[in-house]
Every structure is written in C-alpha cells, then in structure tokens.
C-alpha cells in the first residue's frame, strides 16, 4: 500500500526563547517521569541518571501507513508463532549453511536440537517488534517497508510510552507548541500508545497461564545495562498492577543459582539475600540478554541457557522462537509461495484469536508482502549468484546483513564488495564440502526514506538540541502466547503499541544508548 502523502516542512520555526523553554520542559519531564538512561559511567547502585535521547517535537508520519503497520501486527505474530512450531522448516533454514558458518546461530540451533525432544513446557511467549522505514518511490509514492522482525529483547517499550506522553505534555503546556503549526494543535494527531502497559500485560498472561500464584518472573539481563529504567518500568508495572514479583539475574549469576527440580522440572531460584527462605519457582523467563555473542563469553553461559530451556518455565523467547527471528528466516519468507504455506496452509497450527487456520485470505498475505523490499540469499543458488553480482555491480543500492541483533553489524553500500572479497579469502581455508562464509549473510535492498524532513534532537544529558536531517524507524510491538494444547482461552495475539526512533540521516546505524538515535513519537498527518 502506497499513499500520496506529502510530509509537511519540519520543524516549524521557533523563537530562541520558545526553543529554550521546550528544552527546559522536556528535560524536567524526562527526569521526573523516568524517561531516562544511566550515564556512560555509572556507579552500582546508580546515583544519577540522564534523560534518554529525545526529539524536541514529535515527527510527522503518514496516518494511513501508521494504521497499516499497527493493523498488520497480529498477522506477523501468527506468522512467527507458526514458524517457531515448524521444526522441519527451522532445521532446513537454520540447520543448513547458516549453522555451519555462523558460530552463534550454530550454537543456538544445535543447543535447541539437542534438547527439543525433552522439553516439558509447550507454551511459548513472544514480545515482538516489527520495524519499518518509510520508503519514498517516485513512481509508487510513499509506503512502509519492513527492516526486520525482532523476537528477542524488543526494548524501549516503556521509554516509548514516556516519549509520547512527554510530547503530549509539551503540547498542552505550551498551547500546542506555541501554535507554530496546525499539526501540533490537534490532539487527534498524537496517537494513543501504551506499550509499557501492554508488554507488561503480555508477561502477566504468561504468568497466569503457568498457573502458580506464588511463582515469579525472571528477567535475564546484561551486566552494566544502561537501559535499566526501560526494564524497571516493566517490573514496577507487573508488581503494582498484577502483584507479580520480578527477579533480575545475569547469566553468570544464574550459572550458580538456577536449579531444576528433577521430578517436576520446575525452575527454582534461591535468594542470595534470604538464604534460609525456600527457593522461588519461576513462571516466565524474559530475556533482555542472550541475543548477541558477547552475552556468551564462555561455554558456561550456553550451559545455563540450555538448563533454563529444559525447565517448565515459559520462555520469552524460547530458543526456537529466537531462531525464527534470524535474518535468514526473513529472507526465505520472501521467496515465492513460502508465506502462503504458513498463512494459508490448511495444516498450519492455530496460534491466535482471529488468525487461526483457515481464517486468513490471500489479501492478508498480499498486505504483508507489500511491506517487504528485495531480499536475497548469499548462497550458490541461481538467486544467490544473482545477488552476488548485484552486490558487486550496484553496491550503493544494498545492505549486507549477518544473523545478528542489536545494531552495528551491517555492511552498507560501497563497503560491500571489499567485505565480500574478505569473506572469500576466509572461505579458502574451509574444509571440502563446507559452505562459504558469505552464506551466513543476506542481501537486502536499501529502503529509501523521504528526504527533506528535519527535527530537533537532544542527546541524553545535554541541554541543547541539534537540527538534523532525519530518518525515523517505526516499531510495532506485539504479544503472542502460543503452543499449548489447543485451548484458545490460553492463546494471546495482540498489538501492543509502537516505538519511533529518529536519527540523523548521516548515520546508517542506530543506537539510542550511544546517542545516535532519539526516542521519538509520531505526529500523524494526512
């Protein structure tokens, strides 16, 4: 779906005094409402915080495309749940060349394969985020194109809600941003957005499905996490609204604490603070770690991940669900007929209200496919050889992606040919019959965001803004609880809110914590 939207000139003109007042109000609001990060150097426990990188004004976004992205999320939830339950598909895609050339994905797939026949918890929980960029085509107008689908550690839900609340506050406190634009004076242009509430509800649904009132939710976190407030808000919401306690531990802590009852397979965690108290039973394991190789510096972390996977606790995500979010899965889905198999196939498992087997149409499939841009394998198939030639002959049109999450891993434009040559040199040392290093990557056509849009961005901890040509990435959150015994009362499939991250156009990569991207909110325009 493309729309003929022309985005307004942005930002509207502000006087120096108006600008300074907005800086004061936004900084005060952020610090007062936990719209914050830890500073780069922080003590433990922390004694200070800085406002998260933010935009001084919300960023214009086409209303029709925003509504489309939100409406598609239940379909994406169902799609990735079905992929996760299709072991044969995961084995074919992730157990092939990817697992042989990508050490991290190989460890994940082999670990899951080694224990999957002995898993005792059929339910799986996904807190997803589907990320999109606006794509501006001279011939087709403006559309949204999917960047990636995140199945693990989809962050910034809480801070995204705070960003939208902050922009609404600024509008109310300044008579619609001093009435400098008619777009800023209409409350209907500020969409409701409650990902904190909805993601916490998703975790609570998993806890309820587990069925033990005295059980806890375990957050598996990274050492020295700067985005701790985004996580703590989920913890506060669960405890204050649902009376569900949360326990936080790193992999290294869990390696000595976590135990599985040999009879019940319950995951038990003794409290280091109350050694004489009974160990707490874990209902849900929520990973805000475990998505990058640096989270597994030794074999001990992998052993701990396997131990947790074998427990009765509901995983968010399971190892299979994490595998489903790989870039290679995204590329294979774009091949002719694959999406139809998952969404229209009669033998597909029923994984959600309103999107069960037989309830989808070709129109649903087409709407999803319209959000995709060119994706190619980097293998030796006919399509893979075509992709290799494209990458060498027209690198300015593409990005080369490894099977990684978290940003900072992609190879862009003119850097692609040299990088492929480097991979070729490394592949010369491979054993006979082994795949080439490049097969661990996919090639993606570059999305072309509209030009000429600007905004005022404030880096965390600073009292000034910079006017930047910007690119905004819209993320749509989803919750899916699936894989039970067919009892639909235990199945959840819902949209859970949105995230808008805005960065300067000069940067290919994002990153809120390092100050490249700002947490923004959309201003809907027709």
Does residue 129 carry a catalytic annotation?
yes
Alpha-carbon span 131 to 493, nearest angstrom: 18
Collect all residues with Cβ–Cβ distance below 8 Å to 361 and sequence separation of at least 6. Answer: 344
Does residue 150 carry a catalytic annotation?
yes
CB 377 within 8 A of CB 424: no
CB 281 within 8 A of CB 267: yes
Tell whether 290 is in a known binding site. yes
Strand, helix or coil for residue 43: coil
Tell whether 403 is in a known binding site. yes
Tokens of residue 444, six digits: 């993606």
Catalytic residue among 162, 401, 438, 459: 401
Tokens of residue 18, six digits: 């108006």
Tell whether 154 is in a known binding site. yes
Catalytic residue among 309, 501, 515, 517: 501
Tell whether 419 is in a known binding site. no
Does residue 380 carry a catalytic annotation?
no
What does the DSSP 8-state code read for residue 137?
E
Alpha-carbon span 97 to 379, nearest angstrom: 9
In the block, tokens 């899965």 appear at 329
Q: Where are the beta strands (DSSP E) in 459-512?
A: 466-482, 492-504
Does residue 92 carry a catalytic annotation?
no
Tokens of residue 1, six digits: 């779906």
What's phi and psi for 375, nearest 5 deg?
-130, 135
Tell whether 155 is in a known binding site. yes
Tell whether 77 is in a known binding site. no
Tell whether 412 is in a known binding site. yes
Tell whether 404 is in a known binding site. yes
Cβ atoms < 10 Å from Cβ of 92? 11
CA-wise closest residue to 146 among 372, 369, 327: 372
Tell whether 227 is in a known binding site. yes
Helical axes 362-369 vs 63-85, angle rounded to 10° = 110
Does residue 280 carry a catalytic annotation?
no
CB 42 within 8 A of CB 48: yes
Q: How far is CA 143 from CA 63, 68, 133, 263, in A?
A: 11, 10, 8, 54
Tell whether 247 is in a known binding site. no
Tell whether 305 is in a known binding site. no
Tell whether 291 is in a known binding site. yes
Catalytic residue among 82, 100, 129, 280: 129
Does residue 235 carry a catalytic annotation?
no
Tell whether 408 is in a known binding site. yes
Catalytic residue among 96, 406, 504, 511: 406
Catalytic residue among 148, 165, 436, 439: 148
Catalytic residue among 165, 301, 405, 436: 405
Alpha-carbon span 202 to 492, nearest angstrom: 8
Collect all residues with Cβ–Cβ distance below 8 Å to 66 and sequence separation of at least 6. Answer: 191, 474, 498, 522, 524
Tell whether 327 is in a known binding site. yes
Catalytic residue among 100, 280, 305, 327: 327
Tell whether 467 is in a known binding site. no
Tell whether 445 is in a known binding site. yes
Tell whether 436 is in a known binding site. no
Does residue 406 carry a catalytic annotation?
yes
Tell whether 152 is in a known binding site. yes
Tell whether 406 is in a known binding site. yes
Alpha-carbon span 430 to 97, nearest angstrom: 13
Catalytic residue among 155, 198, 201, 318: 155
Tell whether 501 is in a known binding site. yes
Q: How many helices (H) and strands (E) does the chain have?
A: 17, 21
Tell whether 426 is in a known binding site. no
Does residue 189 carry a catalytic annotation?
no
Does residue 327 carry a catalytic annotation?
yes
Tell whether 288 is in a known binding site. yes
Strand, helix or coil for residue 456: strand
Catalytic residue among 51, 55, 130, 150: 150
Binding site listing = 129, 148, 150, 152-155, 225-227, 231, 288-291, 327, 401-410, 412, 444-447, 473, 501, 503, 509, 512-513
Q: Which residues are catalytic?
A: 129, 148, 150, 155, 327, 401, 405-406, 501
Residues comprising the binding site for substrate? 129, 152-155, 225-227, 231, 288-291, 501, 512-513
Binding-site residues for Mg(2+), in ranges, read 148, 150, 405
Binding-site entries for ATP:
148, 327, 401-410, 412, 444-447, 473, 503, 509
């Amino acid at each position: 779906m493309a729309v003929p939207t022309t985005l307004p000139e942005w930002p509207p003109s502000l006087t120096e005094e108006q600008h300074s007042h907005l800086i004061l109000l936004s900084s005060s609001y952020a610090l007062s409402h936990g719209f914050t990060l830890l500073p780069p150097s922080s003590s433990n426990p922390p004694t200070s915080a800085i406002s998260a990188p933010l935009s001084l004004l919300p960023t214009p976004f086409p209303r029709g495309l925003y509504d489309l992205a939100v409406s598609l999320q239940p379909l994406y939830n169902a799609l990735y749940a079905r992929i996760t339950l299709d072991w044969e598909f995961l084995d074919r895609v992730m157990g092939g060349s990817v697992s042989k050339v990508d050490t991290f994905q190989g460890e994940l797939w082999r670990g899951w394969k080694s224990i999957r026949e002995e898993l005792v918890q059929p339910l799986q929980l996904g807190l997803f985020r589907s990320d999109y960029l606006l794509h501006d085509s001279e011939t087709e107008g403006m559309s949204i194109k999917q960047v990636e689908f995140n199945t693990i550690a989809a962050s910034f839900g809480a801070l995204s809600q705070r960003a939208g609340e902050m922009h609404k506050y600024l509008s109310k406190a300044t008579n619609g941003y001093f009435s400098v634009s008619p777009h800023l004076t209409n409350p209907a242009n500020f969409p409701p957005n409650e990902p904190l509430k909805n993601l916490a509800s998703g975790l609570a649904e998993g806890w309820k499905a587990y069925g033990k009132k005295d059980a806890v939710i375990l957050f598996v976190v990274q050492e020295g996490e700067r985005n701790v407030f985004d996580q703590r808000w989920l913890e506060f919401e669960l405890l204050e609204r649902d009376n569900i306690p949360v326990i936080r531990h790193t992999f290294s802590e869990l390696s000595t604490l976590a135990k599985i009852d040999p009879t019940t397979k319950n995951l038990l965690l003794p409290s280091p603070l109350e050694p004489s108290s009974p160990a707490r039973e874990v209902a849900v394991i929520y990973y805000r770690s475990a998505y990058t190789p640096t989270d597994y510096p030794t074999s001990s972390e992998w052993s701990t991940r396997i131990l947790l996977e074998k427990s009765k606790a509901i995983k968010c995500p399971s190892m299979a669900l994490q595998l489903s979010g790989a870039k290679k899965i995204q590329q294979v889905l774009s091949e002719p007929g694959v999406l139809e198999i998952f969404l229209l196939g009669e033998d597909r498992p029923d994984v959600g209200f309103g999107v069960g087997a037989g309830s989808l149409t070709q129109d649903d499939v087409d709407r999803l496919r319209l959000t995709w841009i060119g994706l190619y394998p980097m293998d030796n198939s006919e399509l893979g050889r075509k992709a290799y030639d494209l990458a060498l002959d027209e690198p300015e049109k593409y990005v080369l992606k490894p099977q990684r999450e978290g940003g900072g891993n992609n190879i862009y434009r003119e850097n692609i040919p040299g990088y492929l040559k480097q991979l070729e040199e490394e592949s010369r040392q491979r054993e006979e019959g082994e795949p080439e290093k490049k097969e661990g990557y996919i090639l993606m056509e570059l999305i072309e965001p509209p030009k000429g849009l600007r905004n005022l961005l404030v880096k965390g901890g600073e009292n000034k803004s910079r006017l930047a040509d910007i690119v905004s990435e819209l993320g749509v959150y989803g919750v899916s609880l699936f894989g039970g015994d067919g009892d639909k009362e235990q199945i959840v499939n819902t949209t859970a809110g949105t995230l808008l991250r805005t960065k300067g156009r000069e940067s290919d990569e994002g990153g809120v914590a390092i100050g490249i991207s700002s947490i923004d909110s959309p201003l809907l325009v027709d």
